Structure 1
């Protein structure tokens, strides 16, 4: 995606069109994008990202690649079908997070187009704006904690990409460009469910802009395109995506579906929670969001400006309606990245104003160069203030929690596989089961559907009669599971041992295991974040 302004959309500050130089904009666009993408593996701890074991939510996603392609509509569950399909294109199943990383890079590219395709007075200023918008997305702390094997980075890339295409459609109106936007929206629904949130904002912005300008033919064209996109989104949702919306999943997200009367307090609490991963004080963020929206409008992109304003309103509406979680760190990642992109445009807009004022006193200085310097100072300060987030793998004490850093069912599974005797028994909590099944690479699997959990399916291992999975998280369930495992080991005879594997033990389950294990002799046999133990009667 190499963004270049057509000559007709390059103008002087007074709006008078001028012809852009031939190849130079493409060259600078290419250099800027390449430099930004080269920063991606520098800012992100890619090695940890690709080598860390999968935790609970990731494990069932990863496990889907071990089933035949015909099972994908079931195993994809709450993940978009297309996103789950992309995982199958990764040669090494231990490196599936490459898809997550790829969408993080795509978000940077989309943000560059979002900033670049506004109507800037010169191509140089357009390059500066695109780079500022993309850099803001790249440097956002929230990006550094989204290394898990989930579709949230795809949500962000799709949202910023759709908004970028709105600016592209406004850049030089044509039915072909509108059709491209419609086709992208239709395809994006396969990779991100939040397409259904951003698409109405995109077409709503184009509709309102056409109505205000009294461009009635364009209004009809946009309405028809929006209707077509809406029909496709509806078909994808009810035909594929809706199966991920089950009762357990709704219950899981219940706290993120506020009622209208709860909105003020809820929004305040959630925003306070999210501000650390935004990386800037709230007043600064608000000011830059306003500046970015006004810059879009001032740079002849009113539809994009309207879409930006509509996005949080639509997100709030679907949250109150109990359709999609509101302002939750993971599911609202697309809002955080979009906010960073808009703020980046705000930085570029303010830098442009400052450059114009300064160049009146310094006539020998090129405004684009001065604007680039101002953006570099502002974004450099932002990067310096958030430097502790970069190359973040979740191990920094007191900074933030990521499950990647505190779970390791892979090591436990490998250790037990290497040291168990044929008649030994393995007992585990149900949070370890999907990971255990995934990392038991040579054992055959059987898909069990339907299943009354948030995923909607379960996996059986027909050849592993030695495994006991504790069905619940309370003390009674844990005691029952341990008793079953010990009794099974006694029946298998010949000194059979009971291996204990636990993963993602949180909340009340911690006390449940402590109380249940009090009546047994427990010998820890490995170190690490989730050690393996041998359990026997006390």
Structure 2
């Protein structure tokens, strides 16, 4: 065996393909048990999801514009889903890929027997599967792809170390290139991956490998730069930077900011802070002791690079959605820590129980630890978007689909529809048979707007302030009067938050408002007082 990690380090004997396949399939079968897939696929799209979903309604040639806030490859994958109402299947698919990648990550370490490798892979994957943060990421955004790519790249680093070859290094490079198309955080994870390989080969004075890793890293860097500057950078505009401004701490603000954000994230981590730290240390040490030092270095570099790009105002730091990949990666490393501790405990126990197989004891220890974790976080599983007093997502408190469909069924030809701009993307998407026109550029976070040329009856409030809301309401009422006797004004609002709630309350006080539907975002009719 090559102690430097250059030769194959798998134990002798046939590879237990059946064990691996069975373990992975069993874990994937838990996805629909832990996740409320029915609600996930049936819930209407909220604001951020609506403009992602709208991208499938435009010609392929418009994709570089309409995908500005999402990776290009992610938006392409959405077009493979036959029913536009089921686009969250892509989100769910990446949930599953993260579990598979985590299994490969734990499995790729140098374990003494294949059985222990299967146990480690299952423990790593189970930690990712059971993580509460995974249960709340059901929205139509690329965050689950971020997690799958991050864990997958780390798994490939361990795979490269398992049996060194130029072909494996090329696979890692190709995976990084593909990952950048579906996940912007690949640009954060890839430098850590190649940095780990470079540092380990340099310390070992493996100069030929160092040259190979350097060339591979440069090739990957060129691809990352090409995708970022050629495609992704157009999503980096002033409104987007302003939106994330609170998640770009300065150097002097960093200690307090990190403390606050970590405290905010702990509920979706699902374990006490000291336990999490202990398992992360155990996982990193297990990577090193089990012959994967480059992967261990990559894991340690990841929070450092994430902090640097956050301070540099390039990518939000420790925000629940955008840093989802960090939470899932931490879960995977903690799962490896559980497997490492279980393996050592099994070795000690087998001295007194020589007839018991170590892999069986390790599996039992992992089952107890991860079972306790699952029991403690059972309230997160089958999360439907709303846990009163605990947590909610926009999926549970927005429903522009019902409002759009109700007005479409009940409006008369001369009626007028007025809505806030947060409802407009969803209204356009759920107005399924209406002609759409792309409007660019536009000074919002996604950089584009959509027009419905055949709907002169629609008034969209351009802002959230009292002046904009009041003027739009007056215009809608005047337009209804111009369109003839009996014309009614329908009001649709979505994602009304913060000061906008009071703005609407004050503006509507001048009118007679009748609520005509129930639900979380009811439709109303407006007439002059």
Q: Indicate if the aligned counterparts of 2:419 and 2:493 stay in contact, CA closer than 8 A.
A: yes
Name which of 20, 37, 48 aligns with 1:46. 37
Alignment correspondent of 2:119: 128
Question: In 2, distance between residues paired with 1:280 and 1:475?
Answer: 44
1:4-403 equivalences under 5 Å are 8-10=8-10, 18-20=11-13, 22=14, 25-403=16-394
Cα distance between partner residues in 2 of 1:108 and 1:101: 11
Higher alpha-carbon deviation: 394-403 or 137-146: 394-403
CA deviation digits over 1:307-326, x for unaligned, max 9?
00000000000000000000
- 2:6–2:164 contact (8 Å) kept in structure 1: no
SS in 2 for 1:331: coil
**CA RMSD of superposed structures (Å):** 1.1
CA distance in 1, matches of 2:410, 2:32: 37
Which 4+ residue blocks in structure 1 deviate beyond 3 angstroms?
5-8
* Other structure's SS at 1:261 match: coil
Query: How far has the Cα of 1:6 moved from its partner?
Result: 12
Q: Which residue of 2 aligns with 1:487?
A: 478
Task: Give deviations 1:353-385, integer Å, cap 9, x for gaps.
Answer: 110011111111100000000000000000000
Partners in 1 of 2:7 and 2:206 — Cα distance?
A: 23
CA distance in 2, matches of 1:333, 1:49: 18
- Cα distance in 2 for residues equivalent to 1:194 and 1:235: 15
What is the SS of the residue equivalent to 1:441? coil
Please give the per-residue CA displacement for 1:468-509, whole angstroms capped at 9, x wherever unaligned. Answer: 001111112111111010000011112100000000000000
Query: 2:414·2:457 contact (CA, 8 Å) conserved in 1?
Result: yes
Partner Cα distance (2:237, 2:41) in 1: 31
Partner secondary structure for residue 305 of structure 1 = helix
8 Å contact kept, 1:7–1:19:
no
Q: Give ranges in structure 1 of 5+ residues lacking alignment.
A: 11-17
Distance 1:400 1:218 in 2: 49
Cα distance, 1:395 vs. partner? 2.1
> Partner of 1:507 in structure 2?
498
User: Alignment partner for residue 403 of structure 2, among 396, 412, 417?
Assistant: 412
Q: Deviations over 1:248-274 (max 9, x none)?
A: 000000000000000000000000000
Contact 2:7 2:164 in 1 (8 A): no
Gaps of 5+ in 2: none
- Tell me which residue corresponds to 1:15: none
Normalising by structure 2, report the TM-score: 0.98
Q: Determine helix, strand or coil for the equivalent of 1:114.
A: helix
CA contact (8 A) 1:118 1:171 kept: yes
> Could you say what secondary structure the match of 2:322 adopts?
coil
1: CA distance, partners of 2:496 / 2:521: 9
Aligned residues: 525
- Cα deviation, residue 7, structure 1: 10
Q: CA separation in 2, counterparts of 1:197 and 1:505? A: 34
| SS, match of residue 419 in structure 2 | strand
Counterparts of 2:384 and 2:309, CA distance in 1: 32
**Structure 1 residue 524 displacement after superposition:** 0.3
Q: 1:521 & 1:6 partners in 2: Cα distance?
A: 77
Q: Measure the CA separation in 2 of the matches of 1:236 and 1:145.
A: 29
Partners of 1:204 and 1:282 in 2: CA distance: 28
TM-score (norm 1): 0.97
